[in-house]
Amino acid sequence: MPLKFFASLGRRFRDAIQRHRLLIAALAAIAVIATTSTLISVRLDASPEPSGAPPLDMPAPSTNQLPAVASSAWPTTPPDSAPADCRQQGLKGTAGASVVSYLDDNSAQKDLVAKEAKGLRLIDFSWTSIVSPTDLAQTDSFDPTLETEMTAASQAGPCGLRFVTLSDNDPKMSHGTDVRMMTRILTSPSVRQGHVLAVAQWMAGQPLATGLTVDYENGLPQNLSDLRIAEQTAGWSGLSLDEAVNRLSDDYTELIREIAAAMHQQHRLVRLMAPVRGSDDVDVATTDIAPYVLGYGALAQYVDQIVLKAYDFNFATGNPGPIAPFTDVAQVLTYVHSYGVPWTRLAVAVPLYAYNWTVDKRGNIAVDAAGRPISATILTPTQVAAGKKSWHKEKTTDGETEYSYTQNGRNHIIWDASSALGTEMTWLERNYPQIGIDGWKIGNADPAGSALAITILGR
């Protein structure tokens, strides 16, 4: 071929490079970035996993575009690893029970925690309360320490799930003080961040805890008077009922989001005990506002399980009746699920106690001299077992048993929800097979309650 052809081709090639130099530079930059990204990806994929217990059925990251939280100060200490021969467990469909420290102050009774942990796949210790946004303390000083009980549970049931509950029901705190404290935690970013750090630090010191259960309800506004206290504490004014509740709801979701992020950073599971409602219309529930603060759908994005408090449909200061009728429980489950909450992310708390109402001649709750309802007394299964020997059995509804008796001229009606445990568990397993079950509540010195939970929930 003639040399001038090659010379002409070379000129055309140089001219093309000159004309498209910007495009060529951009393509070269893209190639460099792609190569670098590939190398980084390979290095990340090859990075070692964090030490400690592996995550257990952790949820996928939320798709919400929320601001990042200041997590650099959170400790990342994971719980102790389970023995190598333990099968990995998740919360889906798991049955267990909550053990409450303040239920039985009976030093003569043998502590039953080891037996409970051996017989149940999940055990949750309701032992600790918030004293201030940054201080946590044992709820009942008469009981063994949480560390003692966790050690006993770990030794007896090394493969079980062990949770610790953090609640806002410190018995030394008045309700108004509790509302103010919780409002500060919810509405002040600096107070909230201090609280989350305190929780993370406390959990880092619980090597035997698989996870945390958050039970913040008592400090949420219960009525319009409480809501006024909350608004004053937050510095709000001129808000409608809906606006105030919506603000608290957003703040509550943010608090739970940050606590869950701190716990997942420690490779621990997070459960949320949730009060229940049957609608979105807070205007018709001004004496029971707290459940409306919870946005179930948003919360389910961050926690591993929402435990619905589907009980007390007939409550201590109302007229006697079944504590957890199946129709009411079903309505709650359907309602919460309608928020897009997966069944696998739900559990239901089933009542393991009885209410003893003092009633008038018509069978309604009796009132005192000031016209106030006389609150029913709560009874453990052990107390029911002792008392029913002298009571008259009236009827059974959804497995719950009604008794009556007269003492000192006053009529009493008892509804025992613990007698329905087997019936309710069978009903839940048949109709909602993917949800978890939490027996609420047994004591560490409650022989009948413990035996009932182990026999039915531990099967």
Mean pLDDT in residue range 253-264? 98
CA quadruple 199, 201, 203, 206: dihedral, nearest 10: -150
Number of Cβ within a 10 Å radius of residue 306 = 23
Alpha helices, H only, 60-188:
113-119, 146-156, 175-187
CA separation, residue 216 to residues 59, 264, 326, 423 (Å)? 22, 19, 25, 29
Average pLDDT, the chain: 87
CA separation, residue 397 to residues 174, 255, 323, 401, 415 (Å)? 36, 39, 10, 7, 10
Q: Is 402 helix (H, G, I), strand (E, B) or coil?
A: strand
Dump pLDDT digits (tens) for 61-115: 444 444 556 678 999 999 999 999 998 889 999 999 999 987 765 566 789 999 9
Token code pair at residue 147: 């560390």
The residue ranking higher by pLDDT, 107 or 222, is 222
Mean pLDDT in residue range 214-241? 97
Q: What angle do CA 450, 453, 454 make, to 5 degrees?
A: 85
Dump pLDDT digits (tens) for 347-376: 999 999 999 999 999 999 999 999 999 999
Mean pLDDT in residue range 135-154? 93
Dump pLDDT digits (tens) for 395-438: 999 999 999 999 999 999 999 999 999 999 999 999 999 999 99
The secondary structure of 49-73, three-state, reads CCCCCCCCCCCCCCCCCCCCCCCCC
Q: Is 134 helix (H, G, I), strand (E, B) or coil?
A: coil
CA separation, residue 422 to residues 103, 330, 456 (Å)? 22, 17, 6
Peptide bond into 92 cis (omega under 30): no
The DSSP-derived string for 202-214 is HHHT-TT-SEEEE
For residues 222 and 290, is the Cβ–Cβ distance under 8 A?
Answer: yes
> Residue 14: is its pLDDT beyond 90?
no
Distance CA 337, CA 3 (A): 80
Check residue 36 and give its pLDDT: 38
Cβ neighbours for 147, distance < 8 A, ≥ 6 positions apart: none
> Residue 446: is its pLDDT beyond 80?
yes
Distance CA 127, CA 169 (A): 11
The residue ranking higher by pLDDT, 40 or 265, is 265
Check residue 272 and give its pLDDT: 98
Backbone dihedral region for residue 235 (phi beyond 0: left; psi -120 to 50: alpha; all else: beta): left
The residue ranking higher by pLDDT, 16 or 333, is 333
Backbone dihedral region for residue 371 (phi beyond 0: left; psi -120 to 50: alpha; all else: beta): left
> Residue 172: is its pLDDT beyond 60?
yes
Check residue 400 and give its pLDDT: 98
Token code pair at residue 265: 């950073």
Q: Is 385 helix (H, G, I), strand (E, B) or coil?
A: helix
CA atoms within 13 A on the CB side of 176: 4
Q: If pLDDT is split at 50, 70 and 90, which confidence band does 7 have?
A: very low
- May I ask the CATH class of domain 95-352+419-457? alpha beta
Residue type, 347: A
> Residue 48: is its pLDDT beyond 70?
no
Check residue 212 and give its pLDDT: 98
Tokens 């010191």 -> residue:
205
Distance CA 304, CA 59 (A): 6
Tell me the whole-structure pTM to 2 decimals: 0.85
